Amino acid sequence: MSRPTDHLEVLAAGALTTVQDRGRTGVAHLGVPRAGALDAPAAELANRVVGNGADAALLEVTFGGLVLRAGAGRWVAVTGAPGPVTVAGAAVPHGEAVWLPAGGVLEVGHPVRGVRSYVAVAGGIDVPPVLGSRSTDTLAGVGPAPVAAGDRLPLGVAVAPPAHHDAPHPARPGPLRLLPGPRADWCEPDVLRALAAAPYAVQADSNRVGLRLQGRPLARVRDEELPSEGIVLGAVQVPPDGQPVVFLADHPPTGGYPVVAVVVADDLWRCAQLRPGEEVRFTPASVTAGSPAHRGQAARADARG
């Protein structure tokens, strides 16, 4: 049973700090986005390090600036975009469990690279779940509001000792891999290779809804209106200006612009860490017989008859 001291007091929240877990699934038919941590491997690592289960809620911090005071001592870990992290003014390791004593102050500074850092606390952030998740949905406003200075975030009961250190998943270098989308034939022939032909730059208005890109416009070959249809995580949608948008965790459940490609799920976490102005390159995914991607392509071919 938690005690009144089992909380984190938010002294500063930075540009955007939200509560996230693995997100809401199975409710898109209600018009609710999935939400959840954009860099899922980093969030999973932070939870493992402090002894939390995979479903525990934690904090996603955009460009640092988060300052917390502990009501009671807890193990904490910061992963994702690397940058300065201090406890009581002393530097502590990134990606390792460190003890935050009662009354101690944790500060997450501006990252030296990447965008989003993750702060896990033993026991997890114990805000009430909404539709099965504690995640903040910035598009539909479902779940807890973004974290603000003065908030007191309740904590759950720690269930396991910390791992202190756990190796992160190795990063996959190179372009983001693409699978064909359901409306690939609405743009120029071989649209995956057209996307791969030149780099795109991340735009400043990118957010948890989507990664907005600027570069070589994709030419439409069909001009009629497309009725709204379901959108999946990682969908690459092409609006009238031809500049692609990669949909991320807070994407709308439906959309009316053609989806010409889908980013391979294992590459999506990299979209969470791309800064405005950084270069993005794509490549068609290699599909081998029997792989999930191959089965998906076969299913689409069967559906087309």
- Which residues, 6 or more positions from 279, have their beta carbon under 8 angstroms from its beta carbon? 199, 200, 201, 202
Is residue 265 a contact partner of residue 40, using CB atoms and an 8 Å limit? no
Distances (CA, A) of 119 to 20, 56, 79, 203: 10, 11, 7, 26
Extents of the domains making up the chain: 7-154, 176-304
Indicate if the alpha-carbon torsion angle 241, 218, 223, 179 is positive or negative.
Answer: negative
- Which residues, 6 or more positions from 163, have their beta carbon under 8 angstroms from its beta carbon? 48, 49, 50, 51, 97
Cα separation of the two ends of the chain: 57
Q: Which tokens belong to 20?
A: 């996230």
What pTM does this model have? 0.91
Max intra-chain CA distance, the chain:
65
Is residue 80 a contact partner of residue 119, using CB atoms and an 8 Å limit? no
Tell me the chain's radius of gyration from C-alpha atoms: 20
Q: What is the pLDDT along the chain (305 residues), one digit of tens a residue?
A: 456 669 999 999 999 999 999 999 888 888 888 999 999 999 999 999 999 999 999 999 999 999 999 999 999 999 999 999 999 999 999 999 999 999 999 999 999 999 999 999 999 999 999 999 999 999 989 999 999 999 999 999 999 999 978 877 777 778 999 999 999 999 988 999 999 999 999 999 999 999 999 999 999 898 888 889 999 999 999 999 999 999 999 999 999 999 999 999 999 999 999 999 999 999 999 865 344 444 444 333 333 33
Superfamily of domain 176-304 in CATH is: Cyclophilin-like (2.40.100.10)
